[in-house]
Amino acid sequence: MIKEFNGNNTWRKRAISLVPIIYEVTVSPIPGKVSILQDGSIVVEVGGIEMGQGLWTKVKQMTAFALSSNLSNADDDDENLLDKIRVIQTDSLSLVQSGFTAGSTTSESSCAAVKLCCDILVERLMPIKNRLWEQTGSVKWEALITAGHLESVNFAANAYYVPVAGTGDYLNYGAAVSEVEINLLTGETRILQSDMIYDCGQSLNPAVDLGQT
């Protein structure tokens, strides 16, 4: 089609640009902290900075998944932990060793750190949940947290995610193809169409990844 167009037009020409890419990813260690307040709300802190890449959205989703998959009841329609979670901005004193936000790996590392925190909280709360389940046959989130506070459970968990040796470096692949038209008289350039393919791996949130791309 390009060749046919160029053969039929003297002053306008089209061309295809194909750019493949191989990006070497290096995952960095990053800290995280998850705290459950007395009203059942959840506060999350991570070393990464939200700058439009959807980091906090993914962190909230990971927190909700890691806690609800173990501590919430599937038959409770009102148990939506995602609405109870807020991510707050940290600084280099509240979370030391936070490193820097770069290289499209901060979401990956931050979510891994948050999951480690949630695993600690789940381990602390599971005995209480099991006991309440045996007594009542159902465990509401607020009731679980209230019981935990009465038993002086530590509701703050810190973690420092460090990639396992051999897993911190890998390759991402992608390609972009654009169809461009140039007016040889005026120099006007028009991008008629662009297509991108990017390997997001196991996406935490396809909609966010699509938006970032």
Q: How high is the mean pLDDT of the chain?
A: 89
Higher pLDDT, 186 or 138: 186
Q: Which residues pair with 161 in a beta bridge?
A: 30
Instruction: Decide which of 3.40.50.300, 3.30.1490.20, 3.50.50.60, 3.30.365.10 is the CATH code for 28-161.
Output: 3.30.365.10
> Hey, what are 115's tokens?
């999951």
Taking alpha carbons only, the member of 169, 179, 142, 127 closest to residue 37 is 142
Higher pLDDT, 53 or 76: 53
pLDDT at res. 77 = 43
pLDDT at res. 73 = 61
pLDDT at res. 184 = 97
Task: Please report, rounded to a whole number, the percentage of residues in the chain having pLDDT higher than 70.
Answer: 96
Query: pLDDT (tens digit, 9 = 90+) per residue, 64-84?
Result: 999 988 877 644 444 588 999
Q: Which residues pair with 21 in a beta bridge?
A: 174
Mean pLDDT over residues 148-154, rounded?
94
Spatial distance between the Cα atoms of 10 and 14, rounded to a whole number of angstroms: 11
- State the amino acid at position 136 in one-letter form: T
Q: Which CATH architecture has domain 2-25+172-212?
A: 2-Layer Sandwich (3.30)
Query: pLDDT (tens digit, 9 = 90+) per residue, 9-39?
Result: 999 999 999 999 998 888 889 999 999 999 9
The domain spans of the chain are 2-25+172-212, 28-161
What is the DSSP secondary-structure string of 116-140? HHHHHHHHHHHHHHHHHHHHHS---
